[in-house]
Structure formats: structure tokens, C-alpha cells
Amino acid sequence: DFKRHGTNLSKKKKSRLIEIATRLTELSSKFKVNILEGTKEFYFKTDDITDLAGLPAIHLEAAKENAKQAGHPGSWVLTLEAPSYGPAMTYLKDASLRKKLYRARQEIAATNERNNSAIAEEKLKLRQEKAKLLSYNNFADFKTDTRMAASAKNALEFEQNLVEKVAPIFKKESDVLRDFKRKLTKDKNTELFPWDIAFYEEKLRKQKFDFDKELLRPYFQFENVLDGAFLFAEKLFGLRFEETKEMPSWHTDVKTFKIYDTINDTISFCYIDLFPRPGEKRSGAWQLCLIPRILGRDNASHYVGVFTGNFTKPTPDTPALLSFDEVTTLFHEFGHLLHHLFLKVDLDFFRSVPWDFIELPSQLLENWCWEKEMLDLFAKNYKTGEMIPKELLEKMLEAKNFRSASFLMRQLGFGVIDLKLHTEYDSKEEPDINKYGRDIENYFSPADLPEYHSPIVNFSHIFAGGYAAGYYSYMWASVLEAEAFSKFEKDGLFNKKVAKKLVEDIFEPGWTKDPLEMFNSFMGNKPDNAPDPSALLVREGILPAE
């Protein structure tokens, strides 16, 4: 690891490494700010509610509240924030308005003084220079050298092997969706456009399964979902969350909690900040460790974490009612929090884990959201207190793998773009970095992408986050977690023996052990067993169950 940080380099090269690191940090910050400012700047305002035909009542209410906060009482406002943009693209009948919003989203940081293209290109060049200074062929080889994948070649082969298995079903799904649009519009020559995908997906889901995702929202009041995550942690791991007013916070939306570990007799703390604040918070959801837990020292410290998101906000008339996707996202980030909380390592270096292992705990927790035994703990109607009706739950589960190949291909596409940018991209051969990304993404998209589609300038994961040459980690971790969850399916969703082994083998060690050995120890496999994607492909309906 010392060599990876340049300890064996000349003084001149060490100095250059420091310059590169400083500049990369500056560029990351600028990339992020450009997206924040661009997102904040755009909004669509209307005084005519018929412009928003198709949008469910809860989202109309949110649009009215957006307008009020923007200084336009009596109007309706749509923004590019996920809780506004997502429903708009899914339900708005007006295709021209969906296109307008889609284009605005693509151009957030692709035009004028906030164009992130030059920043992305400079970052790629600096990363490549850094890799060469450290004797690697490219930045992706540098990043994967200490990961489970071991090389960029292996990571790309992993992605491409999955693509080969998923692509045929993805093509069928795309053809079905295009033909469905043609049938509804009575236009046999029309094509499917990117701003059509979510809209016709939802209509097809309703027709095929008689299932409307919005019918689940009343059962997912934010406070109840959060309590459900806490109950999950208590039943499996002996953790008890208790809200406290003793900790200072930065906003009235922020909740603070003490976490009591009743098994190990320790105390931790966390901040939970899950509602959007345009211009202040970046999009998405994430978890940070502010202060790690340090044991076995005179100056032992308690873990303090931050759990952040951009979920559907409450309005004056309705509490915060989450979509099912937001519920799984909450559990995903909660998995990261638990991983940090349980780390039993004092040395800083060993508190991390390889990037293609880091999503295992988070993606694993998403599985419980699909289980009736888990949903019965917290999913109740915010007005009546009733549980999700059996018929609605059955429809939700029946529709679980609807267009799953399309979702997998989307994730695989991002991973391939990321790896190719960090191994093959040459600005001399293709000066338009967005075109380079778009040409790759087209293969993974159900619809042809327009020239203004800008996959690079909004790719915060790899240009303003920690996923450079590492986006493949999401799919890598999916393979691991699908196998891991099978242990709970077999032995019981709340089996404390399996949970104890999960903590001991996966959560606690950090990087003190080889991650493949950790995983195989939990699974009861041979130490060098390679991860098998079969469980993932069966779960997603790509392969038949045996």
C-alpha cells in the first residue's frame, strides 16, 4: 500500500502526485456544485392544472407546495429533484412536457459556464497520469489492483459475461414496450423515446399485473418505515435506536439517535437527514462515518454516522409517504450504516473494505423489503392503521421481476462506461466525451438516445464520488448479496445465528481479512470459491429456478 501512495518515487514525482490529488479534489467539488446549481436553477411552472394531467393527487399536492416555496402560490411547480422528476416522467400524459423535463435533466451541467465535460476530461487525464506515475497501465488497473476483481480486465469481463446472459431478455422487454406504445397510440411506426420509458412501463405494469405502485404509498409513512428499519436491527442484531435531542444538528429536518448495542454493551450515534433541500444537498442517498468506533484504547470513541437522502417530503396536508423504491433505498443506506457501526477495527486503513465488497451489506438489506414477515412490522396505512392487503401484496410480488433485465442492463451500462473511460477513452480520437458515453449507453438503452443526452456530465458517482473505475461494484455486490440472502431464506429471515455470523464474517473484519475468504466463510464455501451469479440471475427471472 505504501507503493500505491508513491513512497518509492522521487521527490519530484511525489510532489506531482500531491498536485494531482489537490487538483482532483478541486475538480470533484466543482463538478458537484455545477450539478447542484443546475438542478436548483430549472423548474417548470404552470397555472393550469390540466398541464399536469395524469399526475397522482399526492404529487399534485407536492407540486403546489413547490410553487408556494418558490414564491408562486396558486401555481404548480415541477423540479428536477428526484421526488418531483421521477413521478412526472412516470405519470404525466403530456409527452412534450416529459421531453422538456428529460432534456432539462440532461442539460443540467452540459451547457454554458456550468459544463462539466471539460472537468470530466481533465479528471480522466490526471487519473491516468497518476496511474502511470505509480507504474500501472491505467487508472482502472490501479483502482482494481487491491479489489476482489484484481484487474480492470477481470472487472470488464465480469460485466460483459452478465451482459451476454441478460441482453437477449432485455431486447425482448424493449420490443414489448415499443410495441405496447404503438398499440396504445395506434401508430405502428412510432418509436420509443427515452422520456416514454417510465410512462409506458407503468401503463404496461398496470395492464399486465393490475398493479399500481402508487397504491403502496399510504402504507409507507416515513416515520413508520424508519421504525421498521430500527425494528429490523433490533430483531436481528440486538440494536435499539432511541431519538435524542442532546446532539446539535444543522437543520430542523435532521433527526438524531442514540444506538444501544444490547449484545456488545456499546453506544453509537447517528444523524438522519432524508428530505431534499434544493441547492444545498446533492441528489441521491448516501451514508457517511463522521467518527469511527475505536475500541481497546484509553481514548475509545463512539461511532457517529450520517444517513442522508432526498425522499418525498411531507406537505401541509399529508405526511411523508414514500414510494416502494424509496423504502428499499432507505434500507440500502441503513445497511451501510450498520456496516460502519459494527466494524471492529482500530487502525484507519483496515476500517475500509474493497470497493467491490462495500455494497454487499447495503444491497443485502434491500431483500427484506420484499418479505411479508418484514413488511408486517411497519407497513400500515397512515390513516387506518391497516396492513397492506393480501391481494395488493401478491400483485406487488408477482410484478417484482417486471422488466428486471432492463434494470440490470442499465446498471451494467454504467459500469461498462466507467471502466472504458478509465481504460480506453482517448480525447484525441473522440473529443466529445458525452458522445463517447452516449454511444456506449445506446446499446444498454431501450430507446435511442438523442444528441443532447449527456451521460458523463451528470455521472457524479465517478466524477464527484468514490466510484471511479468502481461502478461495476454494484453488480459485483449484487452477485454476492443474492447468494448471502439465500442463507436467511433457508434458515429464517430473523435467524439470530445467521445474523451473528453475518456480523462476525462480513461486518466486523473490515480489511483485516481477504474479502473472498470472509464471504466464503459466511456461506460455508471453500475459501477460494469464486462468486456465482446464478442466484442473482434466478432471483431476477433471467434464469429459471431449479
The catalytic site residues sit at 333
Q: Which residue has the cell 487538483?
A: 23
DSSP classification of residue 187: -
Tell which residue, 418, 437, 367, has the closest CA to residue 397: 367
Give which of 245, 246, 244, 283 is closest to 109, Cα–Cα.
Answer: 283
> Which three three-digit cell numbers place residue 360?
454487499
Q: Phi/psi of residue 512, each to 5°? A: -80, -15
Report which residue type is found at 183.
K
Helix (H) / strand (E) element for 37: namely helix 11-41
Distant-in-sequence, close-in-space partners of 424: CB < 8 Å, separation ≥ 6: none
Number of residues that make up the chain: 546
Instruction: Give whole-number Cα distances, 256 to 224, 263, 467, 515, in Å.
Output: 16, 22, 28, 32
Decide: 56 and 214 in contact? Cβ < 8 Å.
yes
Cα angle at 441 between 436 and 444, to 5 degrees?
155
For cell 461498462, name the residue: 416
| Residue 167 phi, psi dihedral angles, 5° rounding | -55, -45
Strand partners, 388: none
Tell me the three cell numbers of residue 528.
Answer: 477460494
Q: What is the 3 state secondary structure string of 151-170?
A: CHHHHHHHHHHHHHHHHHHH
Backbone angles phi, psi at 427, to 5 degrees: -65, -20
Element (H, E) at 118: helix 117-133
Instruction: For residues 480 and 478, give the distance between their C-alpha atoms in angstroms, rounded to a whole number.
Output: 5
Provide the residue type at 96 as one letter. Answer: S
Exposure string of 142-159, with b = 16+ CB inside 10 Å and e = fewer, is bbbeebbbeebeebbebb
Count other Cβ atoms within 10 Å, centred on residue 210: 12
Alpha-carbon span 532 to 520, nearest angstrom: 11
- C-alpha angle with apex 325: 84 to 270, nearest 5 degrees? 95
Q: Which among 243, 483, 220 is positioned nearest to 369, based on CA atoms?
A: 220
Show the cell assigned to 494: 430473523
| Angstrom distance (rounded) from CA 229 to CA 290 | 21
If residue 90 lies in a helix (H) or strand (E), which one and from where to where? helix 82-91
Pairing of strands 304-308, 266-273: parallel
Other Cβ atoms closer than 10 A to 439: 14
